[in-house]
Structure 1
Amino acid sequence: MRHVYWIGGGSGAGKSTMARRLARRHGWRLYATDDVMADHARRSTATEAPLLHTFMAMDMDERWVHRSPRTMLDTFHWFRGEAFGLIVEDVARMPRETPVVVEGFRLLPHLVEPLLTAPGHAVWLLPTPDFRRAAFESRAASEARFTQRTCDPLRAEHNLAVRDALFTERLHEETARLGLPAVTVDGTLTEDELAEQVSDILRL
C-alpha cells in the first residue's frame, strides 16, 4: 500500500479537515472511515464483530448513560479494531495510480503499522481535552447531537468526553511505543500551520 497515507487520531482533532486539504492540494482520493461505518456494520457478522453487534442491540441510554466511560472505552467495537479489515479491503480495491488519504479514529496504530511500507505515510492527531471540547461546542451550534436522544444528555456528554480522552491517551501511548508520529493538537497552531506540520511528517 505504497499509495496510501493514513491520518488517525482522537475525535475532534481535525483529521477530516487535514485529509480534505491534502486531497484537494495533491489531487488524491479521500477515504473517510466515518462515512463507511454503517456499511461496515451491515457487512460484519456477529461472529466477526461481537462487540459491534452487542452495541447495536443496546438502546441509547445503555450505550451512553448507564455505563462507565472506562467500560465504554474497553467495549467500543471500533476502538477494538473490529471491521478494520473491511477498511483495508475497500482501499485495496481502489486504483493504485492515484494516492489515497485514509482518515478516521478507527485507524489504530497497531493495526496500521504493519501496512506501512515506508516512513512518512501515517500520522496521528491527538487533541487535548480543552481543544476537543471547543471543537464539539462549535459543532453543536450547527448540528443535533445524538446524546439529546438519551434520558440524561449532560451525563451522556460527560461520559463521552471522558471516554474519548481515555482513547486519546491510549493512542498517545501506542504511537510512542511503536515509534509512530503523533501531533498534539491544542489550538496553539493555526489550521495552516497544522497542515504544514502534517505535510512535513508525511514528507510531501
Structure 2
Amino acid sequence: MRHVLWLGGAPGAGKSTVAERLARRYGLRRYHADTRTWAHRDRALAAHHEAAVRFETLPPDERWARPVDELLAMSLHRARGPMVVDDVRALPSAPLTVAEGTTMTPAVARALPGRAALWLLPTPELLEKRLAERELGPGPLALYRRLALEIEDEVRESGAPFLTVDGTTDTTEEVARRWAHPLAEGPHAEGPAERRALLREANEAAVAQVAGYFGRPWADGEPGDRELAFSCECAAPGCTAKVTRAATRIPAAPVIAAGHRARPFAQGPEGISPS
C-alpha cells in the first residue's frame, strides 16, 4: 500500500481542500471518505450494526436530539475504519492516492500502512469559526465538536504525526512540504487525459454521495434539488475553480469552469504546464 497518503483530522481542519489541491497539482487520485458515507452505512445495516440501525429508524428530528454519546456511536466513526481499509485496498496502485476524512484514524493507517500519514488538528478558535460557517443545527454541532475531541485524543495518544491548523498559514503548502519526498516520487497521472479521468472520478463520487442520501426512506426531496460544487475538469494543475450545478448525473462532456478549457498539457522541467 505504498501508493496511499493518509490525511486525517477533525471536522473543519481543511482536509478536503488540501487533498483536492495536492491531487490536482501532482496528478493523484483522491479518496474522500465522506462520499462513501451511505455505502458504508448500508454495509453496517447489512451486518445489523446496532447504532447504524438506530440511526436509520429514528426520525431525523428525534435522531439529532439524542445525547452526544449516542450521536457519536451512530456516526460510526470507528466502525467505518475497516470499510475505509477495504475501499482503499481495492484502488489501483497508480497513481498515488490521497485518502482523506475524519474516519482516517491512526488505527486505520496502522491497519493498512501507506507511504505517509498526517493528521490536521484545528485550534479551538478555528474549529468554532469553521463550524459556524456550516450553519449546523444543535445536534450536528455537538457531534462535530465531540468528533474533534475524539480525533485529537486518538492522534495524540497514538503518537501519530499531526499539524496544528490555526488558519494563519497555507495548510496545503505545509502538507506538501512534509510529504515532499513521496509527492515527488509518485507515481503520478501520466497526462491530461488521466488527470481529467481522476477529476471525473471524484465528481462522480460526490454525485453518488448525494444519491445515497436521497435514497434513504426518511429523506425528503430528489438529488436534483441539491446543488454541488464540482471540480473543474480542465486538468490544469493549479486550477481551484468549481462549477455549481444540480447534483444529478454528470454529462459526458467535461465539466469546465467559465474561462477554462480542456487544453493539452506538456511535461517540462518545472512540472506540467500549458502546451
Q: TM-score range by the shorter chain?
A: 0.7 to 0.9
- Residue pair 2:4, 2:114 contacting (<8 A) in 1 also: no
User: CA offset at residue 104 of structure 1?
Assistant: 0.8
What corresponds to 2:132 in structure 1? 137
- Unmatched segments (≥5 aa) in structure 1: 148-155
Following superposition of structure 1 onto structure 2, how do residues 2-151 of structure 1 map, counting pairs within 5 Å?
2-47=2-47, 49-65=49-65, 67-73=66-72, 75-79=73-77, 81-117=78-114, 121-140=116-135, 147=137
Tell which structure's C-alpha radius of gyration is larger: 2
CA distance in 1, matches of 2:29, 2:86: 16
User: CA offset at residue 48 of structure 1?
Assistant: 5.5
CA distance in 2, matches of 1:23, 1:117: 16
Counterpart AA for 1:136:
L
**Counterpart of 1:12 in 2: which secondary structure?**
coil
Identity of aligned residues (%): 34
1:196 and 2:179 are equivalent in the alignment: no
- Residue pair 1:128, 1:186 contacting (<8 A) in 2 also: yes
CA distance in 2, matches of 1:136, 1:3: 32
1:169 and 2:168 are equivalent in the alignment: no
CA distance in 2, matches of 1:164, 1:44: 21
User: CA offset at residue 82 of structure 1?
Assistant: 1.6
Query: Following superposition, which runs of at least 4 residues in structure 1 exceed 4 angstroms of deviation?
Result: none
1:145-191 Cα shifts (integer Å, max 9, x gaps): 6x4xxxxxxxx2xx4333322322222222122221112222222xx
The structure with higher relative contact order (CA 8 Å, sep 6+) is: 1
- Residue pair 1:9, 1:107 contacting (<8 A) in 2 also: yes
Q: Count the aligned residue pairs.
A: 181
- Residue pair 2:6, 2:99 contacting (<8 A) in 1 also: yes
Counterpart AA for 1:18:
V
Structure showing the higher helix proportion among its residues: 1
TM-score (norm 1): 0.78
